[in-house]
Each structure stands twice: as structure tokens, then as C-alpha cells.
Amino acid sequence: MAKELRVGWIADIFDEVSGIITDTEEMFEQAKANDVYWQPITCYHKQIHPFHVFFPLVKVPTNSFYAGTSMYVPNVVNILAYLIRNRVNVIVSNTPGFMGMVAMACAAYLRLPWVDIYHTDIDYYAESLSGGFLLGNPLVKPIFNRAGLFYMKQYQKQADLIFVRTQEFHDLLLKKGHDKSKLRSYPAGVNIDHWNPSYSTPSIWKQMEIGEQNKVVLFVGRITKVKDIVFLLDFFEQEKPVGYELVLIGGGPEKDDYQKRYDKNSNIHFAGIKRGEELQQAYASANLYVLPSGSETLGKTILEAMASGTPALVSDKGGPRDYVKDKKNGRIFEAGNYESFKKVLGEMLADSTALDKMGNEARNSILGHTDKKLFQQFTGHLKELL
């Protein structure tokens, strides 16, 4: 008789606005619907649904990567006891931080299968985000980067399976010397009923004093350097596209700094964090969704926007380009190149008819990428380990 799957889903959390949390929530809901034991676990300074939260022994600031955020060191013994008590038989880690190391150690001690999800483009983070007096030093930075990449490779080699979000990162891990037999696909999955064009409610923009005659370009997520958010903000500040206004939904410790710098522009609106129906309406009521980042391993917000019938502009690096087909359901620009970004976004805003057509195609192109299908595929791979 096949063993009943009992999953410990372990992740580090920096703050409450992240694709990892969204992914966790959706997989947790699918597990409940399919009567599978699936317990998200983290270490954080406050309770956060749907995780079982262990409060930290030590808080470690991570300002070099995410300004104002921290990572949290847990009591490993407590987590180990929790896994034993709940008869977990497969451990999944979402992040390579302290909780990822705990997942790896607990799996080894309990002799359980351990799988890793490659959510974070470590190469990009090490090269582009390390800064400050120490890590930004040109003599120290290369050593730090090489050490970080070496750690990541050795960490992942301990896993029984490594799940990758896109073909690009599958190929990247092969180049790094990983065993092909350990790699599994963990593609997009989105709730197409939850994110739906039927939620379109253009009147929601009135509360931001956006006139009915104006169209909206939307960004949703952590407002931070890692998302290359300056591209989008500078475009609206400098180009002032006629008939369009920018709405940014999200938060994070860097949000206030960006808001102070750009809020003087009447065509830029910081809307804060939105959830539930407000967020559904925002996606479906926008005319274009933009994610400037060149480091997304998936970019879940892209899928949510496209399922809502909104075309997307993304970079040519990372996960989103697997779902955006240039000039069909959105557009693609050269990652890290503001001139390319400016040119492509300008072209999109100049042709509202093409924008509407791409929006219709965006919805159609996502219909095959459901969260139900993703969950069935993912759990199928986990069951093989039992």
C-alpha cells in the first residue's frame, strides 16, 4: 500500500509581500482541496497565514540585499520535534536561507526525502545586489559572490530532487553540473477563476483621482531595487505618457524611499498593499501590466495579470518570458537596458488597439496553466520519493 503523502513545506520569509508566500498559499489551498497533509513552516517575528511560525532565536539584517529586512534563525530542535510529531515524510524547501538549511539538516537527520525549489536567481543577486561598505567593496565582492554561488551549488546537490520554474533555469543548473535526473519542472500555475477579466471595475481608479479618460499601467509586488522598479518610475516621470497613469500596488521597506522621490508626479500613484477582491479588480481593470525585473525565476504576478485579461511587458531574462509571446499577448524588452524598456513601453502605449488585442490573447494563453494541474504534477513527483 502506497504511503500517505505528508509534506513539510519550509521557507524563509523576508516580508509579507512575495511570490513565495503567494505560491505557498495556493499550494496549501490545493492540498486542502485534495485532502493532502501540507504544512507550511517558517521562522518569523509574527504569525502569518498559512505558515506554522517558529519565533526566532536571532534576527540577521539583510540590508545588502533587501533594505530594511532580516532573516531569522530558528531553534532547530523545535522544528525537528514538530516534523516528528506531525509524521512528515517529505520535506520541501523554498529558499536557500536559514530555513532552507534547517530543511536540509532535518531531512538528513530523519532520513526523509528532501526537495528544493529553485525560486531565487542567486547569480543575479550575488552580482547585482550585494553592496555596502563591505560587500560592495571591489576586492571583497568577487570573493563573496564566488562563495555564495559555491554554497548554493553544494546546498542543492544534497537534494533528492530540484524543482525549476522555467526552461532557462533548468539549462542553467545543467551548466552548473547538476544531475539531470534530479531536475523536475515546476511551471506556472494560477487560479483562472480567481484571476478573471470579469472583475474589471474601472471605477476603482477614481479613489486615486485618476480620470475615467485615462488608462492605467500597473505594477504589483515588492517595491524594491531587485525589481528594477526605477525603469518604470523614471519612464513616467520623464516621458509623461499622455492619457496613461502608473499605479504601484505593494510594499516593502524600500517603498517609502521611492514614494518620497516620485510621489510629486501626479501620474504616479503608490496604492499600498491590496488583497482579495481589491487586487482582483486592479489586475482586471488595468490596461497594461509591467514587470521590469531581470531576475524573476517565475514572476507569479505576470500570470495573475494575464489570467485577468491584461497584457504584460517583461524582460528577456527570467521566467516571465516563457509565458509572454512578443507582440501576441505582451511585449519583451532587453533586461537591464532602460533605452530598450523605454522604446518598447512607448510603442505599447502608442497603440491602444493592439494593447486590447494582446489583453484578450493574454487570458487565452494562460488557460492551460492552472494551479490544479501544477499541484497534481508536483505531488506526483513527491510520491515517487516514497
Region label for 172, one of left (φ > 0), alpha (ψ between -120 and 50) or beta (otherwise) = alpha
The single-letter code of the amino acid at 336 is G
The span from the CA of 47 to the CA of 306, in Å, is: 31
For 201-250, write each residue's pLDDT tens digit. 999 999 888 988 899 999 999 898 889 999 999 999 999 999 999 999 99
Strands 215-220 and 161-164 come out as unpaired
pLDDT given at position 67: 63
pLDDT given at position 133: 44
For 178-202, write each residue's pLDDT tens digit. 899 999 998 888 999 999 999 999 9
The residues pairing with 269 across neighbouring beta strands, listed in sequence order, are: 247
The single-letter code of the amino acid at 267 is N
pLDDT given at position 134: 44
pLDDT given at position 138: 57
pTM exceeds cut of 0.85: no
In 3D, which of 10, 16, 18, 13 has the Cα closest to residue 226? 18
Strands 58-61 and 70-73 come out as antiparallel
Helix %, strand %, coil % of the chain (to 5): 45, 20, 35
| Secondary element (H or E) of residue 327 | none
pLDDT given at position 212: 82
Alpha helix (H) ranges present in the chain?
19-33, 76-85, 98-110, 122-124, 132-135, 141-157, 167-175, 229-239, 255-262, 276-285, 300-307, 338-350, 352-366, 371-384
For 151, phi then psi, to 5°, come to: -60, -45
Q: Which residue has the cell 523614471?
A: 234
pLDDT given at position 17: 67
CA angle in degrees (0–180, nearest 5) for 303-304-306: 65
Q: Which residue has the cell 515517487?
A: 384
pLDDT given at position 154: 80
The span from the CA of 278 to the CA of 191, in Å, is: 16
Contact 249, 165 (CB under 8 A): no
pLDDT given at position 140: 47
pLDDT given at position 252: 83
Contact 93, 263 (CB under 8 A): no
Q: Radius of gyration (Cα) for the chain, nearest Å?
A: 21
Q: Which residue has the cell 561598505?
A: 133
CA angle in degrees (0–180, nearest 5) for 54-57-58: 120
Set out the domains of the chain in order of their start, with CATH numbers.
Answer: 6-189+370-384 (3.40.50.2000), 197-366 (3.40.50.2000)
Sign of CA dihedral 304, 306, 311, 317: positive
List, as own/partner pairs, every contact residues 125-131 make where C-beta atoms lie below 8 angstroms and the sequence separation is at least 24, other chains included.
125/65, 125/226, 125/295, 128/226, 128/295, 129/64, 129/65, 129/225, 129/226, 130/64, 130/65, 131/64
Distance of CA 299 to the CA centre of its chain: 5
The span from the CA of 282 to the CA of 203, in Å, is: 10
Kindly give the parts of the chain with pLDDT less than 70: 1-2, 17, 63-68, 120-150, 152
